[in-house]
Amino acid sequence: MQQHRPIMFAGTGSDAGKSVINTGFCRILKQDGFNPAPFKAQNMSLNSYATPEGFEIGRAQATQAEACGIPCHTDMNPVLLKPTGETRSQVVLNGKPIGDRSAGEYFRSNNNQALFDEAFKAFERLRQRYSPLVMEGAGAISELNLKNRDIVNMPMALRTNAAVYLVADIDRGGVFASVYGSIALLEPEERALIKGIIINKFRGDITLFDDGKKIIEELTHIPVVGIIPYFNDIYIEDEDAVALDKKSNQAKEGLVNIGIVLLNQMANFTDFSTLEHDPRTHLYYSRDPQELEKADIIILPGSKNTLADLHFIRKTGIDTTILSARAKDKTVIGICGGYQMMGQTITDPKGIEGNLSTMEGLDLFPLQTTITEKKITKQVTFRFQNGNTLCKGYEIHMGCSTQTANVIPLNKKTDGTTEGIFMNKKCWGTYMHGILDNKEVIDTLLAPYTDKQSNDLNYLAFKEQQYDRLAAHLRQHLDIKAIYKEIRQTN
């Protein structure tokens, strides 16, 4: 296999769009006959995914691997930080948790050198199988107070001799200062790796920025290799829960209203991506009990801190809303952490999640859960409610749940075991992330509320189409030849 120079899309700040550009460029390289793979040394996200081998990585890298047409692997995201509260995160190394750390412990300790070395080993393993590697930075590249402990931005770019492209979000304003300042604060050897600047999320007539492009190039002595127009008609799964701020938070007349309880530590919000694109539904996220009352279907989603989020829904009165919805024969379902909350009790005897040791659940299921140190991460094939269709999903959870009465299981796995609880067609729970990506499950969920037939959306085919559309959009506005010239320079 021919080796190519890795490239990195880094940002002037968070949410500049580097993850989406990375995804699109992965697809461009695949289309052009390369053998690319994504790589992000460290990711902080509650949106994760299970690899085929049964390990955990950030969902964004799984999405990027999908754009490359390859299976996801832990080497694509060797360090994953999953926030468990305002100041603490679970550290996942090579797909398995190694403990929790506070932000102070993580960014002030010397242990980051060990993590840096582990991340580089993953990079080396990955580039034995794929080329070029399409790397992604995190946050801003010039956070001087964190620089000595940074394992994902310019230190990793230097160690891998990556060609770096700086992505700036012009939509938020201050693009000249953010680009110039980010580059000016770099060390000379770091600055030498910046091969191009990408102005992202441009609205309006691009020719009006001709002077701006010239000014940036004169200030930085680095070419602007692309001005990417803002788009909202291409769907790529979001990396961070910050994207939920842009989604609907209110019910809407005329469609099946599905209210997702917006938990503080909500995990795996991509569980609802397929539902979001179903023309029969209106999906919205809310922590307002009065707004959730308007839903036909209420979903309690996954959580990275189930006890704290259970305390939150009790404090805000959302628990009363959920119980009232069931009393009115509305649908209430729980996924992963939400499934645990709908049981009788949750206990955390070892304080894994924090200071709350035990809480009563909503008592909708005869289920008791104990939070455990062991984390379950695996992809699963199953049959939903004894159906004939094979469905797919994945489990990522810490906790062992025991049923305290005989119940009907929701799912039967292909290994012969069962999973979840089916109380009735309007009340069920499961550990299975991705369960709502399956047509049979969605049609069953919506059947009490609409006689409209499914539009037979094949979500996997839909995503493939979106990757191609994104690639076409980037091809139109990026200097692909200039970028290819850099990646064809071997280390």
- Close Cβ partners of 383 (under 8 Å, ≥ 6 residues apart): 389, 390, 391, 411, 412, 414
CA trace torsion 76, 82, 87, 88 (10° rounding): -100
CA quadruple 459, 460, 461, 463: dihedral sign: positive
Cα gap 418→382, rounded to integer Å: 9
Tell whether the model's pLDDT for residue 491 goes beyond 60.
Answer: no
Catalytic residues: 336, 433
The pLDDT assigned to 355 comes to: 84
The pLDDT assigned to 247 comes to: 77
The pLDDT assigned to 490 comes to: 62
Contact 267, 303 (CB under 8 A): yes
The pLDDT assigned to 325 comes to: 97
Tell whether the model's pLDDT for residue 85 goes beyond 80.
Answer: no
Contact 391, 381 (CB under 8 A): yes
Cα gap 181→455, rounded to integer Å: 49
Q: Can you tell me the mean pLDDT for 455-476?
A: 92
Q: Can you tell me the mean pLDDT for 458-462?
A: 88
Contact 10, 153 (CB under 8 A): yes
Contact 37, 124 (CB under 8 A): no
- Local confidence band at 135 (pLDDT 50, 70, 90 cut-offs): very high
pLDDT in tens, 268-316: 989 999 999 899 999 999 999 999 999 999 999 999 899 999 999 999 9
The pLDDT assigned to 147 comes to: 83
What residue spans define the domains of the chain? 7-235+465-487, 247-453
Q: Which CATH entry fits the domain spanning 247-453: 3.30.1370.110, 3.40.50.880, 1.10.3720.10, 3.40.50.12280?
A: 3.40.50.880
pLDDT in tens, 393-414: 999 998 899 999 999 999 999 9
The answer to whether the 7-235+465-487 and 247-453 domains have the same CATH topology is yes
Average pLDDT, rounded, for the chain: 92
Task: Tell me the DSSP string of 288-304.
Answer: -HHHHTT-SEEEE-EES
- Local confidence band at 106 (pLDDT 50, 70, 90 cut-offs): low
pLDDT in tens, 155-201: 999 999 999 999 999 998 999 999 999 999 999 999 999 999 999 99
Say which amino acid occupies 79: V
The pLDDT assigned to 354 comes to: 82
pLDDT in tens, 205-214: 999 899 999 9
Tell whether the model's pLDDT for residue 64 goes beyond 90.
Answer: yes
The pLDDT assigned to 281 comes to: 95
The pLDDT assigned to 399 comes to: 86
Q: Can you tell me the mean pLDDT for 48-59?
A: 94
Cα gap 384→390, rounded to integer Å: 8
Architecture of domain 7-235+465-487: 3-Layer(aba) Sandwich (3.40)
| pLDDT > 70 fraction of the chain, expressed in percent and rounded | 96
Indicate the SS3 state at residue 274.
helix
Tell whether the model's pLDDT for residue 329 goes beyond 80.
Answer: yes
- Longest distance between any two alpha carbons in the chain, whole Å: 73
The pLDDT assigned to 243 comes to: 65
